[in-house]
Copies of this chain bind each other. A is one copy, B any other.
């Protein structure tokens, strides 16, 4: 009899695992339980739907439920919630279609994702106050904007979702205020990026309120104002994007160990403390390529890659889930900003490094070639070993150059090795020394000679 692979959660990690397992072993029974109706959707595309650049929410779906069922022969059950796991009996308890039943498994993947954090704000339940993490919310925001034509918006949280929603709502002619508790937006991107993005947001007419704590929202029927400690501002719509938290209750209740980050602890194959139970995606930890420690960076590629690896492993061909560098990129109007590895010096010290960093600005094309803009590059290295620890870039073009740094981190390169990389040059594409190389060249002077 063939094995049964049960997957809890039908998004990136879950559907990647289901698809890969079935592709590797067509005999395997693959059952996916998804409590909602959407599967395999690009949550990252939601701001662009709200902005109006993506016309149909269905465009964000990569593979439809019908395709998973009919073409990939996966037993995908939407509207089914897994409410319990019994690791001893190797069964899950499922609620759906008005009944509750037990489903046995040989291999189980927990891919329950994460949820938007709901801070203890007053008036969070008012009409017109949204979080954005699920497809239904994107639709609700879009409908609300269409129905009420808000004049003003409060975005709470200057992370990448907040920044993207600022752009999305500004496109509707709404006067957008962004509230961030910390002194800077995009905290994981470091100060050089934050300052460039803040300047650009202001240029675009966005009202920035940094180091500002929101206490809640007020309004009669619908949200009307956002309240701070000692003042309040108009807000005809509000979006709260202060981060996500892993959905780990199901796992924790079953005795599955969580890591220090609060997400599910896993080994290099994505396995939990139970031999036949795996976890992947936004609910799981992964190993950081620079520190070697477990970390939690809920991002789409990590989820896809880990899911795919686990699908291959349960099909009998073990594959490691891979390490993460926390590489992220975000568009803020005309700017692109990106980061990878360790950008924060304090974080580097905590990981046992003696960090040194440099920030440079250099043109993205030959200085004489039309259309060049400045790219600001920050690189961080360990002073003694010269090992590259991380970096960030920000500019009107070329933010994907972060991939060069991410690749160097994956390879464990030193600053000198990166400086010696033979990157591509022609006037329309780069100066002779690519900005990444220039940054490496400057930083090299600050690290110990080999």
Contact = CB atoms under 8 A, between A and B. Distances in A.
A300 B432 CA distance: 6
Contacts of A223: none
A428 B160 CA distance: 13
Interface in A279-327: 289, 299-302, 304-305, 320, 322-327
| Most chain B CB inside 10 Å of its own CB: which residue of A336, A398, A400, A426 | A426
Contact of A422 (B324, B413, B423, B424): B324
A369 B418 contact: no
A228 interface: no
A323 B366 CA distance: 23
Interface stretch (A40-48, A96-104, A195-203): A40-48
Nearest to A305: B420
A62 B413 CA distance: 30
Contact of A340 (B370, B401, B418, B424): B424
B369 A54 contact: yes
B368 A60 contact: yes
A407 B421 contact: yes
A404 to B, nearest CB: 5
A422 B306 CA distance: 12
B399 A423 contact: no
A400 B430 contact: yes
A121 interface: no
A417 interface: yes
A373 interface: no
Nearest to A399: B429
A400 B340 CA distance: 18
Contacts of A326: 422
A434 interface: yes
A209 interface: no
Contacts of A59: 367-368
A425 B328 CA distance: 6
Interface string A9-37: 00010000000000000000000000000
Given A48-B368, A411-B411, A433-B301, A328 B399 contact: no
A396 interface: no
A424 B328 contact: yes
Interface residues of A, number: 70
A405 to B, nearest CB: 9
A406 B424 contact: yes
A424 B403 contact: yes
Nearest to A289: B422
Contacts of A428: 48, 331, 336
A408 interface: yes
Nearest to A422: B325
B408 A422 contact: no
A432 B12 contact: yes
A402 interface: yes
B406 A421 contact: yes
Contacts of A60: 368
A432 B42 CA distance: 9
A330 interface: yes
A369 B404 CA distance: 23
A338 interface: yes
A178 interface: no
Contacts of A412: 411
A404 B400 CA distance: 10
Q: Which 9 residue pairs across A and B have the least CB separation, nearest first?
A: A411-B411, A329-B424, A322-B420, A325-B422, A59-B368, A407-B407, A410-B421, A331-B428, A327-B422
Given A301-B433, A399-B424, 12 more contacts: A42-B368, A44-B366, A44-B427, A45-B427, A54-B369, A289-B422, A329-B429, A398-B400, A406-B422, A407-B407, A407-B413, A407-B418
